[in-house]
Structure 1
Amino acid sequence: MKIGDLRDKRVSVIGAGISGEALARLAREAGCRVFVSDGGNVPRERISALEKLGVGFELGGHTDRVFEGDLLVLSSGISPSSPVVERARSMGMPTVGEVDFVFPFLGSPVVGVTGSNGKTTTTSILGHVLNAAGVSTAVAGNIGNPLGSVPLSGETPSLVVAELSSFQLHWCEEASFAGGVVTNLAPDHIDWHGSYENYVLAKRRLIERTGPDGFAVVQLADLDILRGGSGSVRLYPLSWDKVEQGVHLDDAAQVALLLMNGSVRELFRFDQVRLLGRHNLENAAMALCAANLVLNRPLNGEDGRIGEFMAPPHRCELVGRYGGVTFVDDSKGTNVAATVTALRSLKCDPGGTKVILLGGRGKGEDYQVLAQTVSEECSYAVLYGEEGDRIAEALSKAGFNRWSRVGSLDEAVRVAFQRTKEGDMILLSPACTSWDQYPNYKERGYHFRRLAQEVGGRVSER
C-alpha cells in the first residue's frame, strides 16, 4: 500500500478509541474520505474529537455504511473473528491493521518492543536512553501514544520505538522493522488468539518482519520458540547465566554486560537502575542492548542517564512507605506470569515478608503456578473480585491457607495492613484484569495509591 494510492479512497476505520482517532486523522491527511465505526459506547471526549475532525461516524454498532468503503482499517484490539471483519472479508473488502496502515507515513526506522510483560517499561527505557544520547526518538504504540500520532506531529524523528501488542502484531504483514525486542513469553490473551500457539505466532511476527540487517533481543528461555521466525536476523539472548553472544546479568559482580563479536561491553551497574525488582534489571538490559545495536556504538547506563529513569505508573511502582510497611503498585500485573515475576523479583527489607492482593476478572488461566509462588514468597494473601474464589481454591490446593476473601480493594488494603509488621511489603499484583470493578488497571492502581495514603494518615493509630 502506497500513500499516493489512498487519495480520494473511502476508508472505514473500525474503533473510535485514541488509536482509531489517530488513524482517522492520518487517513484524512492522506486525502481519504473517512468514516469511523465503533460497536460499543465511547467516552464523550472521543465523540467530541470525531466531531471536531469532521468525519462521519457511528457508535453502538456497525451498519452497512462501513462496507461502502474501499478499505477497512482496524484500530488496536480488533479481533479477526469479529463480525465486522468476517463480513468485510466475505465481501472481498481489503482489510489492513493499524501498524501496516501507519508504516508508509513514517519517515524513520522503527524498533518494535513486544512481550507478555515488561513491554512498556522496556519501551520507555529504550526511548529514554536514546534521547539522552542525542538521538531524536519518538516513543509510541500501545503505550498511550498511538503509532498514528507520530506522522501527525509534524516532525520526523531519527527513530521510532514502538510498543506493540499481540493484537497489533497479528495484523502485521507489510511493516518492516529495524530491530525488535521480545521481553518474555507467557500465556496471555488466549481468549483473543484462540491458543497459546497462535499468541506466540503473533509475537513472532515482530522478528519475521525485521529486515535482514536487523536484530532481535530475546530471553534465552524463549530463543528456540522464536528462532523459527528469525531468518537472518541477529539474535541476542539475555540470561543470568553467561552467554557467548548476548546479554549477561552478572549477579556476583552486580553488572549487566553485552557480549558481542568477542568483546565485552558494560551496559550498567545494577545500582544505577532506580526500579524495583530483578525483572526490571532484565528490562533495562534489553533496552540498553537494543540501544547499542541501533547506534552501532557503545552506550552505557551513564551515557544514557539510566539513573534518571523512573518506573512507569502501576508497574512495580513504589507508592509509599507507611508505618515501616512498603506499598507497591503493580496493577499492570494482569496475568499469572506478571504476578509470579513480580513476586520472585521484589525483595523486602531484611526480616520482612510480602502480603499480596489478588483478584479481579480472570483470563481463564490456571492458578497452580501462582499458588505455588505465593506459598513460597508470601506470608499472607488477600483475595477480592470475581476471581477471588478460584484463586482461593488454588491456594488451598497448594496447601496455603493464610488468606482472606474480601469484596473490594478498600477492604483488601485494610486487612492486608493488619497482617503486616515493620519491614513487610503490601503488593498489589492482581494476576487479573480490573474490569469487574474498574474501567482499567490505571484506575485500580490510582485507587490503591489513595488507599495506601489513607493508611499513612492513620498510621499513628496503629
Structure 2
Amino acid sequence: MEIMGKNVLVVGNARSGIGAAKLAHQKGATVCIYDGKPYEAWQEEAKQTINELKSQGIMYTLGEMPDVKAFDLVVMSPGISPEIEVVQLAKQLGKKITGEFEFASWYCKAPIIAITGTNGKTTTTTLVGEIMKKYNPSTYVVGNIGRAFSEEVLQIPENGIVVAEVSSFQLETADTFHPFISALLNITPDHLNRHHTMENYCACKYNIFKNQPEEGYSLLNTKDHYYEEAKKQVKARCMSFSLQEIPDCGAYVQADTLYENVHGTAHAICKIEDLHIKGTHNVENALAAIAMAAAFGVPGNLIREVLTTFKGVEHRTEYVLTKRGVDFFNDSKATNTDAAIAGLVGLSSLNKPIRLIAGGMDKQTSFKDWIKHFNGLVEKVYIIGETKQQIVKECLEEGFTQVATFETLEDAIKAAYNESKANECILLSPACASWDMFESYEKRGELFKETVMQLEG
C-alpha cells in the first residue's frame, strides 16, 4: 500500500507504535498516534518523547477516541488487542488495518529469517542472529526481541540479513509478510486471554508460512504436538529438527553430536558437551539455529564457532550470583508454564533444592503440568501477581503444600532468602506474563537482580 499523502493512525504509544509512526512519517504520510492513556498519566520521559514527536509533525490523540473516519490506514502495536473499540470501529468503517511488524515488512528489501514458537524463540533468535552476524555483519535482529522492525527497516541494505523473533501478536495481522526462512519451534497453550482458543492461536502461528516462496525454507519440530498440522501449512521446502530421529532435511542428534543434512549431505557441527547453554530445550534451540544457518549457506565451521562460544540470553535461566552459599537464577523470560518447566528441568542437573518465585498476569491457562514437576525439585514456592490464588489452589490440588503468597517481588525474594540454606537455589521463573505488575519481563528480571545484589550476606 502506498502511504505517501495518506492519513495513518498508529494505535499504541509504546516502542513499536512510535517506530511505526516515525516510519509512516518518513514515507510521507500524515501520522497520528492514538493511546487511551491521557497525557497527564505518562511519565516525564514519555512526555518528552511525545513532545519531540509533535515538534516533528506527528500528531497525538491521547485519552479520547480519534476520528477514525479521517484515516486511510490503521497500524496496531503488537500489544494492542484487535478487540479494542478503536480497531473494531476501523473494521466497521472498512479501513485497512495492519500490525507494526507487517507494516515494516512492506519496506524490507533484505531476506528475512523469521522465528516463532511458544517457547525458545528468544534464545534461538539470538543464536541465529550471532551466527548470521559472523557470516554477514549487515545482520539486523528485530521484532519481539530488541528493536522494533519499523525502527530499523529503512537502514537495512538489500544485501543485509534480517533475523526476526515474531510473536503470535505480530503474526495475527500478517498479510504479505514473506520470510525466506521461517521456523515454528513448538506450540503449547499460551495467550488464550488474547486468542481465546488454541485454534485461533495456531492459526496466528501458521501465518509465518502463508506467503513464503517455494524456494524458501520452513523449519518444524518433529516432536511437537502440532507438527503434522503445521506441515500442511508449509509451501516452501520443509526442514525439521529432532532429538530422536534423523530427518530427510534439517538437524538432529546422533551419538551426542549435533548434525545438519540440509543440502543432502550430513555434517557434524559440535558435541552436546561443547554447548554452554544447558538442558534438552537448549539442544533443540541449537538444532533449530543450525538448520536455519545451514539453509542460508553458512559454513559449518562458522556455525560451530558461534555455538561453542554462545553463553545464553539475559533473563533466561541466567545465573546472577551466589550469596551465603545460595545460587540465584533469573528466568523472568519464562512467561508460560512450558518455559518454566524447561527452566526447572535445566537446573535439576545441579542437584540443589530450588526455592521458586513465580506468578504474574493471568493468561487463562492451567498450571498443573508445571506443578507436577515440583516434587523432588522445589523446596517451596513464593507467589506474586494476579495468578497467586489460582497457583495456590492448583498446588494444593496436586498435593504440593509448601507455598506462600506475597504482594511484591521484593518481599518474595527476601522471604526466600531468609528461609534458604547453603547449597540451595533461588529461581525467579514466573510461568506468567509480567504486565500485571511490570512493563515487561525484562523490567521484572532487572528488579530481581537489583534486589538480589542488595541482600545482606
Secondary structure of 2:24 counterpart? helix
Matches within 5 A, 1:187-202: 187-202=189-204
Displacement, 1:293? 0.5
d(CA) in 2 for partners of 1:218 and 1:93?
35
In the other structure, the counterpart of 1:73 is 75
**Equivalent residue for 1:320?**
321
Deviations 1:312-348 (A, max 9, x none): 3211111112233221101121211211121122334
* 2:219 paired residue number: 217
Post-superposition offset of 1:299: 5.0
Distance 2:93 2:25 in 1: 24
Task: Check the 8 A contact 2:331/2:427 in 1, yes or no.
Answer: yes
**Structure 1 residues 397 and 257, CA gap change in structure 2 (3 angstroms):** same
Runs of 4+ in 1 over 4 A off after TM superposition: 154-157
TM-score by length of 2: 0.91
Tell me the equivalent position of 1:102: 104
* Aligned twin of 1:283: 285
Alignment match, 1:21 = 18
Out of 61, 65, 81, the residue aligned to residue 64 of structure 2 is 61
- Residue type at the aligned position of 2:313: P
What displacement does 1:45 show?
A: 4.4
| 1:120 corresponds to | 122
Q: Could you list the runs of 5+ residues in structure 2 that have no partner in the other structure?
A: none
- Counterpart amino acid of residue 27 in structure 1: A
Going from structure 1 to structure 2, the CA distance change for 1:197 and 1:73 (only over 3 Å counts) comes to same
Change (3 A) 1:155 1:272: same
Q: What residue in structure 1 maps to residue 381 of structure 2?
A: 381
Q: 1:291·1:299 contact (CA, 8 Å) conserved in 2?
A: no
Tell me, in whole angstroms, the C-alpha distance in 2 between the residues paired with 1:226 and 1:176.
Answer: 17
Within 1, Cα distance between the matches of 2:185 and 2:322?
30
Deviation for aligned residue 1:262: 4.8
Check if 1:357 corresponds to 2:357. yes
Write out per-residue CA displacement over residues 430-460 of structure 1, whole angstroms, 9 at most, x where no aligned residue: 11222333332222211211222233xx32x
Instruction: List runs of 5+ in structure 1 lacking aligned partners.
Output: none
Q: What secondary structure does 1:374 align onto? A: coil
**CA apart distance, 1:139:** 0.7
Residue type of the alignment partner of 1:77: G
Aligned to 1:239: 242
What fraction of aligned residue pairs are identical, expressed as a percent? 29
Residue in structure 2 matched with residue 229 of structure 1 by the alignment: 233
Aligned residue identity for 2:196: G
Q: Equivalent residue for 1:438?
A: 438
The answer as to whether partners of 1:267 and 1:285 remain within 8 angstroms in 2 is no
**How does 1:298-377 map onto structure 2 within 5 Å?**
298=300, 300-303=302-305, 305-349=306-350, 351-377=351-377
Q: CA deviation at 1:261?
A: 5.4
Change (3 A) 1:111 1:262: closer
Change (3 A) 1:144 1:154: closer
Match of 2:423 in 1: 423
SS at match of 1:148: helix
Query: Match for 1:267 among 269, 276, 279?
Result: 269
Q: SS at the partner of 1:150?
A: helix
Asked if the contact 2:134/2:302 (under 8 Å) is kept, the reply is: no
Q: Return closer, same or farther for 1:70/1:388 CA change in 2, 3 Å cut-off.
A: closer
How much does 1:297 deviate?
Answer: 4.7
Relative distance call for 1:23 and 1:115 in structure 2 (3 A) is: same
Closer, same or farther: CA 102–443 of 1 in aligned 2, 3 Å: closer
Q: Residues 259, 389 of structure 1: CA spacing in aligned structure 2 closer, same or farther, 3 A cutoff?
A: same
| 3-state SS, counterpart of residue 127 of structure 2 | helix
Shift of 1:131: 1.0
Q: Does 1:452 align with 2:452?
A: yes
Aligned to 1:176: 178
Of the structure 1 ranges 411-420 and 113-122, higher mean CA displacement relative to structure 2 is found in: 411-420
Q: RMSD of the TM alignment (CA)?
A: 2.2
Report if aligned partners of 1:73, 1:95 keep a CA contact under 8 Å in 2.
yes
Structure 2 CA distance for aligned equivalents of residues 7 and 329 of structure 1: 46
CA contact 1:272–1:301 (8 Å) conserved in 2: no
Cα distance in 2, alignment partners of residues 155 and 208 from structure 1: 25
| Other-structure match for 1:396 | 396
CA distance in 1, matches of 2:51, 2:223: 47
Deviates more, 1:339-348 or 1:260-269: 260-269
Q: Is the CA contact (8 Å cut-off) linking 2:125 and 2:163 kept in structure 1?
A: yes
Paired residue secondary structure (1:151): helix
Distance 1:333 1:45 in 2: 33
Letter in 1 for 2:322: R
1:32-83 Cα distance to aligned partner (Å, 9 max, x none): 122221222553244144224321111123221x320222222223322222
1:300 Cα shift? 4.9
